[in-house]
Amino acid sequence: MSAPVWSVDPRTGNRREQVATEATAEEIDKTVRAAHAAAAALADRAQRARLLRAAADLFDQHVDKVVECADAETALGPGRLSGELTRTTYQLRAFADIAEAGDFLDVRIDHADASLVPPRPDLRRWKVPLGVVAVYSASNFPLAFSVPGGDTASALAAGCPVVVKAHPDHPGTSELCAALLHRAAAEAGLPQEVLSVVHGFDAGVELVRHPLVAAAGFTGSVRGGRALFDAAAARPRPIPFHGELGSLNPVVVSEAAAAERAEEIGAGLAGSMTLGVGQFCTKPGLVLVPAGEAGDRLVTSLTAAVSDTEPGVMLDPRMRTAFVAGVRERAELPGVESPVTPGANGEHTVSGGFLTVDAERLAGGGDYDLLVEECFGPVTVIVRYGDVAQVSAVLARLPGNLTATAHLGAAEAAGTEDTGDAGAARLLAELTPLAGRVLVDGWPTGVAVAPAQHHGGPYPATTSTSTSVGGTAIERWLRPVTYQNTPQPLLPAELRDADPADVPRTVNGVRQS
Amino acid sequence: MSAPVWSVDPRTGNRREQVATEATAEEIDKTVRAAHAAAAALADRAQRARLLRAAADLFDQHVDKVVECADAETALGPGRLSGELTRTTYQLRAFADIAEAGDFLDVRIDHADASLVPPRPDLRRWKVPLGVVAVYSASNFPLAFSVPGGDTASALAAGCPVVVKAHPDHPGTSELCAALLHRAAAEAGLPQEVLSVVHGFDAGVELVRHPLVAAAGFTGSVRGGRALFDAAAARPRPIPFHGELGSLNPVVVSEAAAAERAEEIGAGLAGSMTLGVGQFCTKPGLVLVPAGEAGDRLVTSLTAAVSDTEPGVMLDPRMRTAFVAGVRERAELPGVESPVTPGANGEHTVSGGFLTVDAERLAGGGDYDLLVEECFGPVTVIVRYGDVAQVSAVLARLPGNLTATAHLGAAEAAGTEDTGDAGAARLLAELTPLAGRVLVDGWPTGVAVAPAQHHGGPYPATTSTSTSVGGTAIERWLRPVTYQNTPQPLLPAELRDADPADVPRTVNGVRQS
C-alpha cells in the first residue's frame, strides 16, 4: 500500500483530507515513460503556446477555487495568493509569447565558405528541447513556483514534458492545478501526459535518478536541494540541475542614506522582511546599518514597524520549529541583541523581529558565521558598522545570493559626490560578485516577470548560472544542435533558407531583424 | 622536491628534456590566487581583444618553432600541426572580434512599467565573467584544444583569467605557448597572471577543487573527465564543468547511398577514420552499412583504402597499448571479423583497420556493448544491417555523441523520394537526439570555427549543454546579473541609456539593431 498524502491546515495543524498517495518507484517509472512518450506531441511551438494560454484562461476562470484551496493549505492569505495567481497566469502567457516568437531557438546560420581555413561547410544551429523535466515545487509559492509555475511554464514552452514533484505543504492545490493543466492540454489537443504530478520524498529522489529525466528545476532549502543536486550529478549520465537553494540577500545602507531617510528605510525593511511571514527567498536577511545617530533612528523605526506587524502562520510546523530554533541559536551568541524578539506566538503563529550585532564581531567569523546563513521566517540581522572597511569585511564573508541591495544618499545615487574608494561605485562593485540581482534604493522581495529579470546567483543561491524567473528561464531546458550540409527539405522549417516560421536568425554572424 | 616533467619523443619513446616540475598544492594555490587577482585587469573588452590579437600575431611569427616543438612531442606531423596553428590563430582573432562586439553580453533592458502586475521596476541585465577558469588540455590537439586553444581564447574573451593544466604529452609545447601568451599580455598592457600553465596529475585535481576556481573546461577521456566532473560537483560550492569526454560518432549509410557511391564512401571513411592516426574526438567509430552487394562494395573500397594508409605514431605509449588492447578485446567477440586488422606495427607505430559485425548481434547488447564504446585510434566498426528496423535498434543502444552522420541517396537528400517511415527525414529525426552536430553526406572529422558551430552533445560527449568550438563557446564562462532601479552613473556603460559602448541590446523585449 502506498502512503497516503494528506492536505493539512497550517492554521490548526489538522488534516483536511487525503488527496493522493505517494508514488512508488514503479509509478515514477510509468509516469516518466508516459511523459517521455508525450514529448513528440510538443514539437509544434504554436501548440505549446495554445496549451499555455488555455491554462492561463482556465486559472483565470477558477481564481476563487484555486486561491481558497491554496490558502487553506498555506495560510498565505487570499490577497497574496490572488496576486500570486495573477503573476502565474501572466507568466504562462509570457511563455506562450516566447514559444511563438522563437527567439530562444537562437538560430544561427553560416553559409559554406571555401575561402576560410579550414573551409567552412554550411552550418545551421538551433536549440532542441532536452526531454522530460523534473520540477520540484517550492513551499512558499504554491502557484508561481509550483505546479503551474515558472519552471513548468518555461519547460513546456521549450517543448519539454514536465513531471512535478508536489510540495508536501500543498498537495491539494497541486492536484487542483494539475487538473486544470490537464484540461488545458485537452483543449490544445495535447495528451495530458505532457504534465504529471507526483507526491512523496522518495518519489522525488527516484525522479531525479530516472534515466529518462533530462533536467531538473528545484526551489527550496540548501539541504534538500543539495541532496538532489548530488543525485543528479552522480547519475551514470549526469543531468543539468537548476536549483535555487537559499539566499541571505544582504542590504547595505550607506551613511548618507541613513542620514537622509532613516525612518523610511526602517519601515521599508520591516515590510520587506515580514512579507509573507518572512517566507520569501528574497527576504533581506542581513542589513548593514551605520553605527551612530542616523543608524539608531533607522533601528528605532524598524522596531516600531516590526512591533506593529501582525503575527502570522508559517507554512508548516517543521518550518515554525526551525525558525524558532534558528532565532534562539543566533540570539544566544555573545553580543547579539534582539530589540524585537522574533519567535513563537500562540500555538500556530510566529511574530517577526530582528537581531543586532557589531560588524567587527560578525567579520571575525567562527560561531558568527551562523548569522550569514539564511534563517527562513520573519527575522533579519542588523549589522552595525563603523566604516566602509567593516562593510567590506562583512561582505567578504557572505555566500552567494539571489539579490544584493544598496541604499544610497541622493548625491551618491546621482553620481555627483566624490565617489573615490569609499563611494557608491565601489559598493556596487563589491555587491555584484555576491548576487544575480543588484538593487539600488529598493527591497528585494517582489521579483518582476520580465525579459531582463535574473533570479539566480552564485551558490547556494543557484546551483547553475541560470534564472528561474523571466524570459531567459527557458534556456535551461534546451541544447543546441547544428546541422551540417543538410539539404533544405530535411531541415527544420526554422533553419531553411526560406523560413516559413519567421524566427529571428543570425546569418553569417549578422543578426537579421 | 617536485617531480620533474619531461618532454618525450613518441617516435622513439626517448626523453627530450625536462621542461618543468609538477605543481605542488601550494603552487596551485599561489597560481590561482594570482590569477584571481588579475581578473580586474581583464575588465576592459577592448584590452582583451588586444591580448588575443597580439597572441595570434606572435603565434604567426613563430609558426616554425611552435610546429617543430609540437611535432617533436606528438608526432602529428608538421602539415597537420601548421593547419592546427592556423586554426588556433583564427580562433584567437575570432574571439577578439567577439569580445569587442559584445553580443555575448546579451544585454536586456526593461524600462519601469507601473501598469503591469506586479509593477515592473527598471531592470538591466548583462553577463559578467565567472572568475578564474581551469582549462584541461587535450592530448590530440596540442594547440587548438590546449594552452592557446578554444577554451583559453573564449575564457579570456569573456574576461576570465585562465589556469591551464598542461597535457603530459606536450609539456614543452605548453610552456612555449604560455611564453608567447605572456608576451602578448605584456604587449596588451596586462599582467602575465591572466594565463598560467601548471603540470601534474595531482595538480589538476587540486586545481578543480580550489575555492577561487569558478569554472572548468576539459577535453579528454571519459575516465579522467568524469573524475574531475565529480570533483567539481562535490565541492562545497559546485562549479560548472564543461567536459568533452568521448564520442563514437555514428554514421549511417543508406541503401540508396551505398548503391550510388559505395566506393566514394568507403574511401572517404578510410580517410576520416585514420586522420591524425584515428586520434580525433570526431572520428567515425561506428558505421552502419547495408548488407548485400552495395555494402560489400563499400567494404571492399574501405579495405583497399585503409590498407594503403601508412602506419602512424600515436600520441604516447599508454594510448598505443590501450588501442591495441581495445582492438583485440573487440575482435575476439564471436561474429566480429577484421578484414583489415588494426594494431601494433613496429615498435612505436600502429596501423589502421576495421572490424565488422552484424546489426542483430550488436543490437542484442551484452558483451557487444563494448562495440559502442569509443576506441581511441585508427579503428572503426562496420555494422551490417538488413533493414531500417535494425538501424533503429542499433541507434537505440548508443550513448551521446558529438556528431551523427547520414549518407543519403540523391533522391533521399533532395526530398523527392517517398520519405515515409523508412525515409531520410525519419533517419535524421533518429540521429538528432544522439548528437550535437548532424551531418549529411560528409565526415565528422574537421570542426569549423564558426558562429553556428556546435561541438558538444549528450553525455558522455559533453558534461553540459555547451559547445567548446564556435562563438557560443564564450557562454560557458559568464553569468547574468540584473541591475534594478540603478542610477545611470552607477551602471556599466553597456547598460546606460546612452550606451557609449554600442553593444546589441534587447529593450522592452525588442531587439535593437
Residues constituting chain A: 513
Domain boundaries, chain B: 27-108+127-245+464-478, 250-440
Separation in Å, CA of B328 to nearest CA in chain A: 26
A interface mutation test: which of B438, B488, B505 has the most A CBs within 10 A? B438
Complete DSSP assignment for A342-378: -EEETTTEEE-EEEEEEHHHHHT-GGGGGGGS---SS
CA closest to B122 among chain A residues = A452
Coil/strand/helix, residue A88: helix
What CATH topology corresponds to B27-108+127-245+464-478? Aldehyde Dehydrogenase; Chain A, domain 1 (3.40.605)
CB contact under 8 A, B487 and A414: yes
Structure confidence at residue A109 (pLDDT)? 97
Separation in Å, CA of B340 to nearest CA in chain A: 30
The helix or strand, by DSSP H or E, that contains position B383, with its residue range, turns out to be strand B379-385
Report the pLDDT averaged over residues A488-500. Answer: 90
B27-108+127-245+464-478 and B250-440: identical CATH topology: no
Q: Is the pLDDT of residue B420 over 60?
A: no
CB contact under 8 A, B481 and A425: no
pLDDT tens, residue by residue, B294-343:
999 999 999 999 999 999 999 999 999 999 999 999 999 999 999 999 98
Helices (H), A62-170: 63-74, 78-101, 150-158
Report the pLDDT averaged over residues B390-402. Answer: 97
Where in the sequence numbering do the catalytic residues of B fall?
244, 281
Catalytic member of A100, A193, A206, A244: A244
Which CATH class name applies to B250-440? alpha beta
Query: Which superfamily is assigned to A24-245+464-478 in CATH?
Result: Aldehyde Dehydrogenase; Chain A, domain 1 (3.40.605.10)
CB contact under 8 A, A480 and B438: no
Separation in Å, CA of B471 to nearest CA in chain A: 9
CB contact under 8 A, B415 and A448: no
Helix A201-209 × helix A222-234 angle, to 10°: 30
CB contact under 8 A, A233 and B233: yes
Structure confidence at residue A420 (pLDDT)? 53
Place of cell 537528400: B413
CB contact under 8 A, A504 and B511: yes
Structure confidence at residue A502 (pLDDT)? 85
Nearest residue, CB atoms, A481 vs list B432, B460, B478: B432
pLDDT tens, residue by residue, A280-328:
999 999 999 999 999 999 999 999 999 999 999 999 999 999 999 999 9
Burial of B411 (0-12, 13-18, 19+ CB in 10 A): middle
Separation in Å, CA of A250 to nearest CA in chain B: 15
pLDDT tens, residue by residue, B185-231:
999 999 999 999 999 999 999 999 999 999 999 999 999 999 999 99
CB-CB neighbors (< 8 A) of B478 in chain A? 465
Nearest residue, CB atoms, B490 vs list A428, A467, A481: A428
ipTM of the complex: 0.96
Q: Please check whether residue A233 is in contact with residue A241, taking contact to mean a CB–CB distance below 8 angstroms.
A: yes
Burial of A502 (0-12, 13-18, 19+ CB in 10 A): exposed
CB-CB neighbors (< 8 A) of B463 in chain A? 238
Structure confidence at residue B217 (pLDDT)? 98
Separation in Å, CA of A451 to nearest CA in chain B: 6
Q: Give the distance between the most distant pair of CA atoms in chain B.
A: 78
3-state SS, B347-367, equals: CCEEECEEEEEEHHHHHCCHH
Query: Which grid coordinates are listed for A228?
Result: 538532489
CB contact under 8 A, A440 and B110: no
CB contact under 8 A, B504 and A511: yes
Place of cell 594503403: B308
Q: Which of B370, B407, B156 is nearest to B268 (CA)?
A: B407
Distance of CA A74 to the CA centre of its chain: 18
Structure confidence at residue A49 (pLDDT)? 98
Q: In this predicted model, which residue has the larger pLDDT, B440 or B415?
A: B440
The helix or strand, by DSSP H or E, that contains position A267, with its residue range, turns out to be helix A255-274
The verdict on whether A281 is a catalytic residue reads yes
Stated pTM of the model: 0.97
